Structure 1
Amino acid sequence: MSKWKIYTPDGVQDILFDECYSKRELENKIRNTFRAYGYYEVETPAIEFFDVFSSEVEHFPQESMVKFFDQKGRILVLRPDITVPVARVTATKNRDVKLPIKYSYIGNVFRFNEVGGGRQNEFTQAGVELLGDYSSESDAEIIAIAINILKTAGLESFQIDIGQVEFFKGLAEEAGFSNEDTVRISKLIDRKDIVGLAEIAGGYEMEDELRKLILKLPGLFGSIEVIKDLKKVTKNSRSIAALENIEEVIGILGDYGFSRYISVDFGMLKGLNYDTGIIFRGFTYGVGFPILSGGRYDNLTSSFGRDCPATGFSLGINMLMTALEKAQMPLEKPNVDSLICYKKANRKNAIEIAEALRKQAMNIETFVLTDEIQQGISYAVSKQIGGVIYIQDSGKITVHDIVNNMTKETSYNELLNK
């Protein structure tokens, strides 16, 4: 037998009983939170044309995508993200739908060397996208949903860092950076590479105050007091408007009661072609990567033929589960309320009782005995089932309370009434 028949490829995994149950329960909580805000679910194909993710706006390098060919030789990919297909849907099938449109989704995505998914090549992504609204209200709502998702999942110790790419773009414009150097400098700032930043900025003539401000960007993070300090030294209108925008968004989040989860980071710059305003990331203790990220991306749908403002966020379910485990939050596990044991002669009665109890929202497993009742009790103990119902001849029923080590006889009617 080939050894590859019994292994999974790198970056993918089997998710077994308890973990799978916990994952599905977490997904249901997230889905219900999305619905509570009026975001309704869509499902896009796992297989897309490569061209969907290859626009100049998009930020997925082709080497990170799982690619293959269809029967006509066209390049296909397993979707590395769901935001982009949502933009495609908005510009095509939902072109005539009245704006704004609110989407939610939960589905698997595929990326090689995906750090943010916990170094997994396949992981489950959940998120919301709000298309058709430029306002600060929509930016704040998206961040509020992200915070509520983490709270609903059980996390309390987390932080949402908020940035504004337009602030940097205004400074770059004022300093006269070339387009190429603007992109290079943004990456250095995001990596907190002060030496590299100083080297490139040193090649440009600018006012000393502006140079100092740009060189400070990697360390411009903390409380909202940072915004007040920046407003005193910022001169160009584009950057000032960005400061006013982030200040307004944070004010709205205060109305939600979420101020304690918020900090600012003006050195956070993910992708200048993709991001167009507010950006944010979520962090928690014990996890070295952001557990969620999002922001405004007003240019994406134009690559599909429709100009439409957009904002949203996504999170990795697998990463969130890791965060919950690190925080020592108990994950929900599947349970069986009772095990109904019977011998073949009493099968009909056993099935009737099992179905009646299931209609009462109980989880009931059945077990055909080939020996005495101890066989069923041993099985129940092995699966941590707390009670055994033994259906015997002539309608006799014995209930074994394994947890309290008690046994009692009952009847069909008494059992179902309880």
Structure 2
Amino acid sequence: MLANKHVLLIIGGGIAAFKSLDLIRRLRERGVTVTPVLTKAAEEFVTPLSVSALAAQKVYRDLFDLTDEAEMGHIELSRAADLVVVAPATADMMAKMSAGLAGDLATTLLLATDKRVLIVPAMNVRMWEHPATQRSLSVLDADGILTVGPDEGEMACGEFGPGRMAEVPEIIAAIDAALSDGPLNGKHIVVTSGPTHEPIDPVRYIANRSSGAQGTAIAAALATLGATVTFVTGPADMPPPKGVRVIRVQTAQEMLEAVQAADKADAAVFAAAVADWRVANAGANKIKKDGSGLPQLEFAENPDILATVAQMKEGRPPLVIGFAAETDDVIAHATAKRARKGCDWIVANDVSPETGIMGGSENAVTLITADGSEAWERMSKSAVAQKLAARIAEAMS
């Protein structure tokens, strides 16, 4: 799918720039033409010679290079590629992009391009979590800039947390999705997945038995068809899929806020097993078993994420899909849920313990729409996801 594509690769100045060399090599193995642009800071980490040798292309570095401007002006350079990739995208680069600055070749190209842009953030965890960086990310998201990563892990500075540059296979998957000519190319879809954890105290919580496998498979299937996917996940067992924007949450309230903060979506798939209730009087400290009797827990209803989005008067996605995990009268309960919530489709399944579906590798679902119900045979969760993604693409064509 990547063969004969052209990527303009802007290499930012961070220790993670060394990964850009492997990225160039892997892209070229797939038949991609890579035109590299080095920032001044990037030259402190990788040399123009090594980048040029791997790309088998001239390296562009200076906005005011008269020879470069005569051969290919920066405006043409910014528009000749199929996709612009910034890897690594430092906090400084993200701030300049969000502010619309154009003080060097890299930022000028980013401001002048008419092609999609994918950034691969990489920085210290404190820099990533800083409100200024998160503001930059919000602006870039709103501008339609695609993002992959950052991952969580140990960094060169010795700290641990989010900020580590995504691994090369993950970046390539994101590039592949961005350049896909699939039926969902240009569509933005929000997918929720996994359970939510509602705290009782700092060490205990209420949750549903959900691995996140079905939601993860759906997000991956949609991305494969070319969709830009925002994946809002609770603390699931399954790692998130590659090539999607991942937003991690813990509680139902956090999940709702993340969904509402996402860019305007063409569709939304609510596959998360959201806890219906939370503990209203959750303890600030660990509740002790000290012989004074059982703790008195007061419960409150969690926000209904599916109904909130499905009943939005402005900005409602044209296609809203919910899930109904039932243990009895599956079709009747799911049909009533679709009408009550106001969503377009419901994917219903029987999660009784004897089915082995909750937390298992297979699923047996019934798709319920305004036209009626359609039972699908039991199959792998990946196959269910692919079939659902194909239906979504058909409905949005």
Q: Which is bigger in relative contact order (C-alpha 8 A, separation at least 6)?
A: 1
TM normalised by structure 2 equals: 0.23
Larger radius of gyration: 1
